[in-house]
């Protein structure tokens, strides 16, 4: 008599009960999956409801199963275990140690020379949320050329490329010479652009130094030290709004967004365009205290890397994790011109998964 679920007595899978359909829809032979794209050649929803496992054996690291519909499957036990336990090939985020960590700098002349350097850059990017790339030509459009070696660029109403220069009547304060306190970009978009690249063509003005701040480290600090602040920041839906003559973009989201396991997912912080809902007095008092404290943390040196983006450098950073800022500059003392673009995490994550698999 077959079984609906099996329990393997020994080894990695012994703590789980494996369901017949769950295993059956993971059969990966050429009869079941297109071998080029690994997509199913059948509808798993049409498998028999009462499908049973008639027999199973284990040979080294392979689980062999015979099903009641006459099919047979062989499964790699490590692959099954990693899937069940959500063990991912992508590196885990690291908390920054500002005193010890070096600036994560890569050379544009080496990144695309071989897969190992590109893999190393993307792994560091996922651990720390940013990389700095040196030796890029200080010429217009080079940031697009660099980004497109990774994958498609995300166009927005700012265009495919945006020029960070001081100009009259700008539609964003980035295009002035003002100080920009720590912020994340475009929290009003759905979805928020995942990764920003900023390329320095010229930085000859007095001032205009750059900073990166780790929102993940800030969030972790709040969780450990100020739980009431952390709770209200992760629970309150804030309205973010962008307005210019062509469009009005609005979204509501938390300043710190958690995933379904209550782990850090995303930060949104842009004090120039966020609005809290009208909560009762006590909650609003708490929210405003929490936002003020978060602002202080995000602008303190504890979580901030300060550096000068000089000619030919690109800062590539995770806009869902990091905040960024710059000191004010004096455009009368020299020309400052950065060009930027956005890409999505599909690009870097997909490339890194492929590199780690190959
Ligand atoms: Fe920005």
Residue ranges covered by each domain of the chain = 5-84, 105-357
Q: What is the mean pLDDT of residues 138-148?
A: 98
| d(CA 186, ligand 1 centre) in Å | 8
| d(CA 228, ligand 1 centre) in Å | 29
User: CATH for 5-84, among 3.30.2020.30, 3.30.420.40, 1.20.1600.10, 3.40.50.720?
Assistant: 3.30.2020.30
Burial 201-223 (b: 16+ CB within 10 A, else e): bebebebbebbbbbbbbbbbbbb
Instruction: Mark out the alpha helices in 300-344 (DSSP H runs).
Output: none
Write out pLDDT tens, residues 243-301: 999 999 999 999 999 999 999 999 999 999 999 999 999 999 999 999 999 999 999 99
Q: What is the mean pLDDT of residues 306-329?
A: 96
Q: What's the CATH code, domain 105-357?
A: 3.60.130.10
| d(CA 327, ligand 1 centre) in Å | 12
Cα angle: 106, vertex 110, 116; to 5 degrees: 90
Q: How far is CA 269 from CA 49, 81, 151, 184, 195, in A?
A: 48, 38, 27, 5, 15
- This prediction has a pTM of 0.93
Q: 3-state DSSP: the chain helix, strand, coil percent, rounded to 5? A: 30, 30, 40
Burial 245-284 (b: 16+ CB within 10 A, else e): eeeebebebbbbbbeeeeebbbbbbbeebbebeeeeeeee
| d(CA 313, ligand 1 centre) in Å | 17
Report the DSSP beta bridge partners of residue 330: 206
| d(CA 114, ligand 1 centre) in Å | 32
């Amino acid at each position: 008599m077959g079984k609906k679920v099996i329990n393997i007595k020994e080894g990695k899978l012994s703590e789980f009960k494996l369901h017949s359909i769950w295993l059956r829809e993971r059969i990966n032979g050429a009869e079941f999956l297109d071998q080029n794209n690994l997509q199913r050649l059948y509808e798993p929803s049409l498998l028999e409801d009462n499908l049973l496992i008639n027999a199973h054996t284990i040979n080294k690291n392979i689980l062999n199963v015979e099903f009641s519909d006459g099919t047979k499957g062989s499964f790699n036990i490590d692959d099954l275990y990693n899937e069940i336990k959500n063990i991912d090939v992508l590196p885990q985020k690291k908390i920054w140690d500002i005193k010890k960590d070096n600036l994560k700098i890569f050379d544009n002349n080496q990144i695309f020379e071989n897969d190992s350097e590109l893999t190393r850059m993307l792994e560091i990017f996922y651990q720390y949320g940013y990389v700095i790339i040196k030796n890029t030509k200080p010429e217009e459009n080079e940031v697009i050329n660099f980004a497109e070696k990774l994958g498609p660029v995300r166009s927005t109403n700012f265009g495919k490329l945006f020029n960070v220069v001081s100009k009259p009547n700008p539609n964003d304060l980035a295009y002035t010479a003002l100080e920009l306190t720590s912020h994340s970009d475009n929290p009003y978009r759905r979805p928020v652009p995942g990764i920003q690249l900023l390329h320095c063509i010229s930085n000859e003005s007095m001032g205009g130094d750059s900073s990166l701040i780790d929102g993940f480290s800030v969030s972790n600090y709040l969780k450990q030290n100020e739980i009431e602040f952390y709770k209200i920041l992760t629970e309150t839906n804030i309205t973010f709004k962008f307005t210019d003559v062509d469009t009005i973009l609005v979204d509501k989201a938390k300043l710190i967004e958690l995933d379904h396991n209550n782990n850090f997912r995303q930060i949104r912080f842009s004090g120039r365009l966020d609005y809290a809902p009208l909560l009762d007095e006590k909650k609003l008092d708490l929210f405003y205290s929490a936002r003020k404290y978060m602002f202080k943390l995000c602008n303190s040196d504890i979580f901030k890397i300060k550096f000068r983006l000089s000619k030919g450098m690109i800062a590539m950073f995770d806009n869902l994790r990091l905040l960024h800022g710059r000191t004010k500059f004096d455009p009368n003392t020299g020309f400052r011109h950065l060009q930027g673009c956005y890409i999505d995490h599909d690009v870097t994550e997909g490339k890194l998964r492929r590199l780690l698999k190959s």
